[in-house]
Amino acid sequence: MNPSLALFLQQLLNGLGIGMVYALIALGYTMVYGVLQLINFAHGEVFMVGGYLAITAAVFLTALFAHAPVVLVLTLMFVFSITGCAALGAFVERVAYRPLRGSPKLTALITSIGVSFFLQNAVMLIYGSKEQGLPPVLPDRLFFIGPISFSLMQAVILAVSVSLMIFLTGFVKNTKMGKAMRACAENAEAASLMGISVTRVVRATFVMGSGLAAVAGVLFSLNYESVNFHDGYLAGLKAFTAAVFGGIGSIPGAMIGGVLLGVFEGLGAGYISSGWKDVFAFVLLVVVLIFKPSGILGENIPEKV
Partner 1 sequence: MLKLRHVYTRYGKVECLKGVSFAVKEGEIVAILGANGAGKTTILKTISGLIRPTAGEILFRDKSISSASPEAIVRMGVAHVPEGRKIFQRLNVLENLELGAFVRGDSSETRKDMEALFEIFPVLKKRLKQKAGTLSGGEQQMLAIARGLMSRPSVLLLDEPSLGLAPILVSAIYKMIETVHAQGKTIVLVEQNARMALKIAARAYVLEIGEIVLEGNAREIGESPAIQSAYLGGG
| Interacting residue ranges for partner 1, rule: CB under 8 A | 176, 179-180, 182-183, 186-187, 189-197, 299, 301, 303-305
Closer residue to partner 1 in complex, CB, 149/192: 192
Closer residue to partner 1 in complex, CB, 193/290: 193
If phi > 0 it is left, if psi is from -120 to 50 it is alpha, else beta; for residue 69 that is beta
The CB-of-100 to partner 1 minimum distance in angstroms stands at: 18
Residue 123: which of 227, 49, 211, 222 has the closest Cα? 49
The CB-of-248 to partner 1 minimum distance in angstroms stands at: 15
The CB-of-299 to partner 1 minimum distance in angstroms stands at: 8
The CB-of-287 to partner 1 minimum distance in angstroms stands at: 27
Residue 285: which of 243, 232, 241 has the closest Cα? 241
The CB-of-31 to partner 1 minimum distance in angstroms stands at: 15
